[in-house]
Chain A
Amino acid sequence: MASLISYSLRNLLTRRLTTFFTAGGMALVVFVFAAALMLAEGLRSTLVQTGQPGNAIVLRKGSKSEIESVVDRAAAPLVETRPEIDRAADGAPLAVRELVVLMGLPKRGGGTVSNVVLRGIGPKSLELRPQVRLKAGRLPRPGSTEILAGESVARRFEGAGLGERIRFGLREWTVVGIFDAGATGFNSEIWGDCDQFMSAFRRSAYTLVLAKLREGSAGFEPFRQGIESDPRLQLTTKPESVFYAEQSEMMAKFLRIMGISLTAVFSIGAMIGAMITMYSAVAGRTGEIGTLRALGFPRRTILRAFIMEALLLGLLGGLVGLAAASGLQLFTISTMNFQTFSELAFGFTLTPGIVFLSLCFGLGMGLVGGLIPAVHAARIKIVDALRTV
């Protein structure tokens, strides 16, 4: 089957300026499209990575987020003594009671207040979360008003840097260490002694119990049944990674829907641009089309050549847009996660799936923009076309 690929390509190269502007318009749309998906993906992967496989989080029944949960003092030991929970070297169960409080703290430079998660931790908290590493300073002494700040909190909130003091819960707290939790939500938290936080915030109950299961993820189902069937407990449990992934669902969906609807509107403009470009390409080359047809090229070859040209434009736009969007991976976004009402720092994450979708989107715009002009090109009568030379 005869093809005119080099003809299509050569035409785009010859009309560099038109090609540049049309592909540029589509590149912008692909950029926004990819950026929105990357943002949603970044949020998702940050929260998914927040959970540690093999860990189970125990919360009050019906709690969708940590903030809603209450685990009272009497219930916590019943959970900790479940046989499915792994034991530490000292024979104690690998489980920890934590308190989660949301606190408005002023940001650096400007003083706007944003919510930060304060997590009261126990002795095993760090052992259960190996992804959290102390980056600077030291661990707080138990029973003291010393706290640890996650890296992104330390950077962005007033008084949260190493050695600085910060006031909440009617007390002054000293930041003695900065921890790095990689690309997880913990980076946006402040950690301190659980009992100190409970008294500072006048709480009488814990928020959750986190436990490491003996048989990893396989041990989860018996653990869940044990917790949920115990009539003394009004609690439920989820694998930690599943729980945090669910925290991202609403926000990620919001970002995705917003991104897609925004780009849907933009893409109409880009497609019209592509259509105008392709129509002018057809109009400017009517004589050539007539010549090609006279030489014996069938209509479908002409149709394909012009569609190919539009697809190449779309592909070029897609590649440029993606290249620009991939540069966004260098930036970190911090925003309010509406589901937990706390500030969360996360990056743009590019995945092969997003690359594929973005390129398809670019090609799709090219196809839609080029189809009608290409059909028009293929339907021109030879004799009429030759007259325009």
Chain B
Amino acid sequence: MNGPASPAIELRDVSKSYTRGQQTVAVLQGVSFRIEPGEFLALMGPSGSGKSTLLNLIAGIDRVDSGAILVGGTDITTLTEGELAYWRSRSVGFIFQFYNLIPVLNALENVELPLLLSPLSRRERREHARAALALVGLADRMDHRPGELSGGQQQRTAIARAIVTDPDILVADEPTGDLDRSSAKDILDLMAGLNESLGKTIVMVTHDPRAAERAHLVRSLEKGLLTNADLHLHS
């Protein structure tokens, strides 16, 4: 698919605006940049700067007004709704601020959920889901429903769900925004570990400077424009 030279994600002149009543608000204006494979990128910026919109566009849950987004060589802006849904199920892992677990399903079933879209058998799905939960350190909490787990445990379950399909990209929207300091650190450790050991490309939107510190690269958005290219490289 993508050779060593091609970027994991490439945005070409992406613009996006929303209509609020009579007004049209330009959220992103001609944003272009590349994210290399295995990169851990933090997107920062004040509220309303467009960072979440940018993340949604990269993850394929929102549509650009103009421009192109190439992920692993595929221009996802040209995909139909159905193709895009299929692409998300194979290529993107989601980590949300409020975990977004299904409350009526237990941890194992939540992690298994994305695999329902794969051709795997029930037994294989269960095996994959158990392995993913073990990887995030929740092997002993599989039967618990989200309501019976702490915030940190819920977010780890969500991370297990994000990686269970073995996607190339993980997108995280304020993954530590709802967590206490110690849980937030655990989650960031886990994400950094996934980035290093499994080579997952991670795009993370965050307000939290401590979270941003863990990324290789920090990009700031302001009023829909990329303002700088501050680079924080960690060993």
Contacts and interface: CB of A to CB of B under 8 A. Distances in A.
Interface of A: 2-4, 6-7, 10-11, 13-14, 287-288, 290-299, 382-383, 386, 389
A389 B96 contact: yes
Contact of B89 (A10, A295, A386): A295
B104 A296 contact: no
Contact of A291 (B82, B100, B109): B100
Interface string B4-21: 000000000000000000
B94 A295 contact: yes
B183 interface: no
Where chain B touches its partner, the secondary structure class is: helix
Contacts of B139: none
A296 B85 contact: yes
A389 B98 contact: yes
A294 B96 CA distance: 11
Given A2-B116, A294-B88, A386 B105 contact: no
Contacts of B59: 294
Interface residues of B, number: 26
29 contacts: A2-B117, A3-B116, A6-B105, A10-B105, A14-B104, A288-B102, A288-B103, A292-B102, A293-B61, A293-B85, A294-B61, A294-B88, A294-B94, A294-B100, A295-B88, A295-B94, A295-B117, A296-B86, A296-B90, A296-B117, A297-B116, A298-B81, A298-B86, A299-B81, A299-B85, A382-B61, A383-B62, A389-B96, A389-B100
B135 interface: no
The 4 A-B pairs of least Cβ separation, nearest first, read A296-B89, A10-B104, A291-B100, A2-B116
Contact of B114 (A295, A386, A389): A295
Given A296-B88, A297-B117, A382-B62, 9 more contacts: A6-B109, A13-B104, A291-B94, A294-B94, A295-B114, A297-B116, A299-B81, A386-B100, A389-B100
Highest count of chain B CB atoms <10 Å: which of A10, A293, A296, A297? A296
Contacts of B114: 295-296
Contacts of B87: 296
B160 to A, nearest CB: 13
Contacts of B105: 6-7, 10
A389 B96 CA distance: 10
B119 to A, nearest CB: 10
B14 to A, nearest CB: 15
B88 A298 contact: no
B110 to A, nearest CB: 10
A227 B82 CA distance: 75
Contacts of B82: 298
Nearest to A296: B89
